[in-house]
Structure 1
Amino acid sequence: MDVSKPPFGDDDAHLRETTVSSQTVYQGHFLQLKRDEIALPDGGRAAREYVIHPGAVMIVAVLPDGRLVMERQYRYPVRQTMIEFPAGKLDAGEGGLACAQRELHEETGYRARRWARAGVMHPVIGYATEVIEIWFADELTLEQRHLDEGEFLDVFAASQDQLEAWMQAGQLTDAKTIVGMMWLQRWRAGHCQFDWQTVD
């Protein structure tokens, strides 16, 4: 049995919803709010409201001593300063690796010589199209960081044990960072292998 594939295949016709009409309710700087009328699998109708997001990356950057590069940033919607792995949204036409390299350097000042794509996550499937690519980076060198205008964040290093303790205590609650921790734990335990690429 191949445990890497779900046992139900592609048979989802009885679950699928189809678009009847679509309306843009709000167009912001980089987010768009849509309201669609949809047909349900049983023939009924319903409304779906959701956010169009350009996509993003998150970087699990490993320092030579094994600690991780972390950030503290105030997130206005939840009115809290959050502990997070470095992350950022894709620019138009930008690939995941290019975005990860750019965001890591801009936000933290670090450049990485080796990169590996771990996977993807959909953080808010109920109301947004956002997809986050999860990248690992190592062989780091520190340069000057270049924050965007209006961007304020602290950069620090933490061990895996510290991050796990903060998660347990409810002090680290950012979903993408928790998923990054899952990948980190599996990688360090030898349960998954990455296809590393060297970037000069």
Structure 2
Amino acid sequence: MNLYEKTIHSTSIYQGAIIDLEVHDVELPDGKTSKRELVYHNGAVAVCAVTPENKVLLVKQFRKPAEKPLLEIPAGKLEIDEVRTEAAKRELEEETGYIAEELELITEMYGSPGFSNEKISIYLAKDLKVGQMNLDDDEFIELEQYSLLEIKDMLKNKQFEDAKTIIALQYLLLNYNDYK
């Protein structure tokens, strides 16, 4: 079966600094039509970082859509034409003060493909060196460090609500012996 939806018409609703919004009229595989509301985003990167002391770096920050602070792995949006690995290194240092010489790609994922094209590249960083934290003017973050045992308990107790963080931490725990 052909699952492709052909766009018949699109209307731009909003063009912002981070996202663009469009409404598309689409032809469905059975020939009927429907509407799709789409969010376009340049993409993002996230880093699961483990210090030389085997502590996992997490950041706590207020997330307006959730209306509360969330505990997450360091992450941020891509600038236009930015190389993903360079963005990941930049975000890690800005938010944690640590520098990663090497990154391993864990996965690339769509967080909400039902309405957004945002692709997030998730990396693992180890062999970290201390750099300098350099937050954006509108960014307020608390840096926290947890042992792998604490991370395991936190996952078990459902203390994480962010998908990229859950994926990265589960990957880390499943593969940790490979990274000692």
Query: Out of 48, 61, 81, which is 1:73 matched to?
Result: 61
Taking the aligned partners of 1:140 and 1:123, their CA distance within structure 2 comes to: 27
Taking the aligned partners of 1:185 and 1:50, their CA distance within structure 2 comes to: 35
Shift of 1:171: 2.2
Taking the aligned partners of 1:106 and 1:129, their CA distance within structure 2 comes to: 25
Q: Larger strand proportion, structure 1 or 2?
A: 2
- Please give the secondary structure, in 1, of the residue aligned with 2:171: helix
Query: Out of 148, 151, 159, which is 1:171 matched to?
Result: 159
CA deviation string 1:9-28 (max 9, x = no partner): xxxx5222111111111111
Taking the aligned partners of 2:46 and 2:136, their CA distance within structure 1 comes to: 17
Shift of 1:189: 5.4
What is the aligned residue count?
179
Q: Which residue of 2 aligns with 1:39?
A: 27
Taking the aligned partners of 1:41 and 1:160, their CA distance within structure 2 comes to: 47
Query: Out of 86, 104, 109, which is 2:92 matched to?
Result: 104
Equivalent residues of 2:106, 2:168 under 8 A apart: no
Query: Out of 16, 39, 42, which is 1:28 matched to?
Result: 16
CA deviation string 1:155-194 (max 9, x = no partner): 111123222322332321111100112221232255xx9x
Structure 1 residue 188 corresponds to structure 2 residue 167 = no
How well do the aligned residues superpose, as a CA RMSD in angstroms? Answer: 1.5
Equivalent residues of 2:99, 2:131 under 8 A apart: yes
Taking the aligned partners of 1:74 and 1:167, their CA distance within structure 2 comes to: 20
- Please give the secondary structure, in 2, of the residue aligned with 1:21: strand
Q: Which moved more, 1:157-166 or 1:16-25?
A: 157-166
Shift of 1:71: 0.4
Amino acid at match of 1:57: V
Give structure 2 stretches of 5+ with no counterpart. none
Taking the aligned partners of 2:68 and 2:161, their CA distance within structure 1 comes to: 11
Could you tell me the TM-score, scaled by structure 1's length?
0.85
Q: Which residue of 2 aligns with 1:48?
A: 36
Could you tell me the TM-score, scaled by structure 2's length?
0.94
Equivalent residues of 1:163, 1:172 under 8 A apart: no
- Please give the secondary structure, in 2, of the residue aligned with 1:104: helix
Give structure 1 stretches of 5+ with no counterpart. 1-12, 194-200
Q: Which residue of 2 aligns with 1:89?
A: 77
Taking the aligned partners of 1:163 and 1:38, their CA distance within structure 2 comes to: 44
Equivalent residues of 1:53, 1:130 under 8 A apart: yes
Structure 1 residue 129 corresponds to structure 2 residue 156 = no
What percent identity do the matched residue pairs reach? 35
Q: Which residue of 2 aligns with 1:152?
A: 140
Give structure 1 regions of 4+ aligned residues with deviation exceeding 4 angstroms: none
Taking the aligned partners of 1:104 and 1:171, their CA distance within structure 2 comes to: 22
Taking the aligned partners of 1:167 and 1:187, their CA distance within structure 2 comes to: 15
